[in-house]
Structure formats: structure tokens, C-alpha cells
Amino acid sequence: MGTKPGTPAIDAATWLRENGLRATHGRTAIVRVLDTSTVPLTLADIHEKVSAEGCDFATVFRFVSILEEKELVQRVAWIDGSTRHEIRSRDGHHHHHYLICRTCHKVEPIDECVVERFEDQIAKERGYTGLNHSLQLSGVCPDCQKPAKKKR
Amino acid sequence: MGTKPGTPAIDAATWLRENGLRATHGRTAIVRVLDTSTVPLTLADIHEKVSAEGCDFATVFRFVSILEEKELVQRVAWIDGSTRHEIRSRDGHHHHHYLICRTCHKVEPIDECVVERFEDQIAKERGYTGLNHSLQLSGVCPDCQKPAKKKR
DNA sequence: CTTGATGCAAAGGGTTTGCAGCATT
DNA sequence: AATGCTGCAAACCCTTTGCATCAAG
């Protein structure tokens, strides 16, 4: 929704109706959480942030599934084995490239994409269509390289 | 173990002892399965292939965990959300790059790695150490593009 | 023989579903 | 007012652990 990650939703309810979905209290909260996050979230992450508004975990589960069926949200297999979810922005740009610290678990988005050209090459070579990719880098961030320091 | 994927183990029991592990019946079976697979396997996949030899699921679970602690096996977060496991070959070459068909779920390994150079660049730019990456491409394979045809 | 690995079975944790009541359209 | 969403709670399934027995070294 928001043009840049981190930008709050202009209007979650309107966005929902535009996409043929009922704009309930819980749903707008879920959309707002997804829309303002710069990193993919687990269902538990989302629930934690909407439970204050009385939104149940089952609602998060079901509604995120609906958004994924409609391809408004992208499912991401996180490098630690968890499943995360990321809203697709309006401009159709939905890259999920991240740099993850193995020590403090901080997540930094990576803007550049070196894989796209490679994707085209593979598509030609092997005849695949509709290619999509998921790339995650993990390492130890500068802060965690300094001994005896913990974050998060 | 085997130099090429798909090559059967020369001697799983010896390999185990070389790595300071007891060479039991179940363990050699598990190693053989991991070693001859060209794609990462789930615990259920492995168990399915060793259960004929009377090897329990708990044994698969525990032994694969041990191999991962010893960094002889690599854990892979698969794009569908499952967790898979892949043996690291003797030459230390352990890339986990795959091309996965979204329709028939066929998995093809990709040899090339375009990410390595990028990894170095990111390491310099952001000061991370010990970088590692995970890349999966998904698309629709040539077979599945032909209508009304199902595999697997 | 000693130590550690195994099988069995139960516990745990996250995911998914059924159902009756409630909110949105 | 009708439809479809929600909360609650139970069911499910995959993962993990405890314990007594068994086998490798």
C-alpha cells in the first residue's frame, strides 16, 4: 500500500474495499501492521500487534491466508525456518531480500537485486516461466562482532 | 561425502567414524540417504527411506540434529515453509540453490552462483562477517506449461 | 563391560478447523 | 436483514523429549 516501506497506510479500509474485501476492525488493523512493517512478519508477530484491538489469532491466520490467495501478500520461508508474510506494494515491487544477523537477529532490507538478470538467464536456459525468487543473506553484524554486547 | 550428488557413498560407516560418530545401522542408512540425494530432504522424507530398515523417526530427528551441530549437514528453509536437510560434501562446497516448479514441485539444482560476488560487496558495505546465503527460484517448468499434464 | 544410541510413547508448540454469535454491507 | 467474519475451543500435525532397553566400541 504505502509507497515506501515504513510509510503508514493512507487508508487500510479503502484499500480493503478496493480489493473486494470487507473492512472490519480486525482486518484494517492487520493490513496496517503489514503495511507499516519493513520486514516480513510471522503470524505471531502480527497477532501480537493486533491483539490489543481484540483481534484473535484465528482471524490473523485466516485473513492472511485470504490475502495470500489474492496475491496481495507474499509468503516468505525465513532462513530460520519460520514462515513470514510481507505485503506486496502497489507498484508490484515485492522483493524479499534481507540481511539477517545470526547473533541479534536484526533484519536489514537489501534494495539491490543481483538475481534478476540471473533469473532471465535461467528462464531462457531451462524454459521456465513466471520466475520468482527468494534470497536471504545471514552473517554477523558489526555490533555483534564487538564482544559482550547484546541487542534485541 | 560422494564427490558428485547422486553418487552413492563409498562407505558411510567409515565416514561416520572419521567424524567421531558411532556407525550404527540406522545412522549409516541415514547418511546413505542424505548422501545420494540431489535435493534437500525433510525429516519425513529421510524417515520414509530408512524406516524399512527399522529406523525410528526419533532417531532420524536426533541424528540429523547431531550432524547439523557438527556442520556436516546444512539446514535449509524451503520456499514452501518446510525445513529440509542437505549433506555438505567433502570439498566444502555446500550451495543450496534450486529451481522449483510451482506446479509439479520438481526440484532442479542450480550450479552457478551469482550471489557470491554480491555477498562480498555487502560484507564490505555493511561490515558483516561470516556471510552465508540462501537462494531459491520458483517458476513453472516446461512440462507444466503444456496444459493438462500432471507429474509427481 | 561401559557408554551412548535406539524405540516407543507421550508431551509440546504451532497451525488449522467447526461452530454459534456478531458486525458489515 | 443477509452474508460473511469473528472469537473460542478443540483437533491436528509436526517436532521434541523421557525413559528403559539394546548395541557399538
pLDDT at B128 over 80: yes
State the pLDDT at residue B139: 84
Q: Which residues of A18-49 are buried (b: 16+ CB within 10 A; e: fewer)?
A: eeebebeebbbbbbbbbbbbebbbebebbbeb
CA-wise closest residue to A135 among A40, A35, A7: A40
Nucleotides of D under 7 A from a protein CB: 4-9, 14-18, 23-25
Name the pLDDT band for B4 (thresholds 50, 70, 90). very low
- CATH code linked to domain B12-143: 1.10.10.10
Name the pLDDT band for B108 (thresholds 50, 70, 90). confident
Calculate the angstrom distance between C1' of C8 and CA of B56: 9
Write down the mean pLDDT value for chain B: 85
Evaluated on CA atoms A120, A123, A124, A125, the torsion sign reads positive
State the pLDDT at residue B43: 98
- CA atoms of B40 and B17, how far apart (whole Å): 23
- CA atoms of A79 and A75, how far apart (whole Å): 13
Instruction: Tally the residues of chain B.
Output: 152
Yes or no, beta carbons of B77 and A75 under 8 Å apart = no
**Inter-residue contact B78 to A79 (CB < 8 Å):** no
Among candidates B81, B110, B115 on the partner chain, residue whose Cβ is nearest the Cβ of A77: B81
**Inter-residue contact B31 to B9 (CB < 8 Å):** yes
Q: What is the mean pLDDT of residues A116-133?
A: 88
Q: What is the mean pLDDT of residues B104-117?
A: 82
Please tell me the pTM assigned to this model: 0.83
Strand, coil or helix: what is A133?
strand
Domain locations along chain A: 12-143
Burial of A137 (0-12, 13-18, 19+ CB in 10 A): buried
Among candidates B77, B78, B132 on the partner chain, residue whose Cβ is nearest the Cβ of A139: B132
Q: Which residues of A touch B (CB under 8 A)?
A: 75, 77-83, 99, 101-102, 108, 110, 112, 114-115, 117-119, 122-123, 126-142, 145
Q: Please tell me the least confidently modeled range out of A17-26, A122-131, B86-95.
A: B86-95
> Which residues lie near nucleic chain D, judged by CB under 7 A?
A 21-22, 24-27, 54-59, 62-63; B 17, 22-25, 42-44, 57-58, 61-62, 65, 82-83
Q: Please tell me the least confidently modeled range out of A136-150, B41-55, B114-128.
A: A136-150
Using C1' positions and the CA of B60, the closest nucleotide is C6
- CA atoms of A151 and B15, how far apart (whole Å): 40
Yes or no, beta carbons of B139 and A118 under 8 Å apart = no
Shortest CA gap B20–chain A (Å): 27
State the pLDDT at residue A46: 98
**Chain A to chain B, count of Cβ pairs less than 8 Å apart?**
109
Q: What is the mean pLDDT of residues B92-121?
A: 79
Yes or no, beta carbons of B101 and A140 under 8 Å apart = no
State the pLDDT at residue A27: 97
Yes or no, beta carbons of A136 and B141 under 8 Å apart = no
Compare B70 and A90 and report the one with higher pLDDT.
B70
pLDDT digits (tens, 9 = 90+) for A16-57: 999 999 999 999 999 999 999 989 999 999 999 999 999 999
* DSSP category for residue A8: P
Whether A78 CB is under 7 Å from strand C: no
pLDDT digits (tens, 9 = 90+) for B26-77: 999 999 999 999 899 999 999 999 999 999 999 999 999 999 999 999 898 8
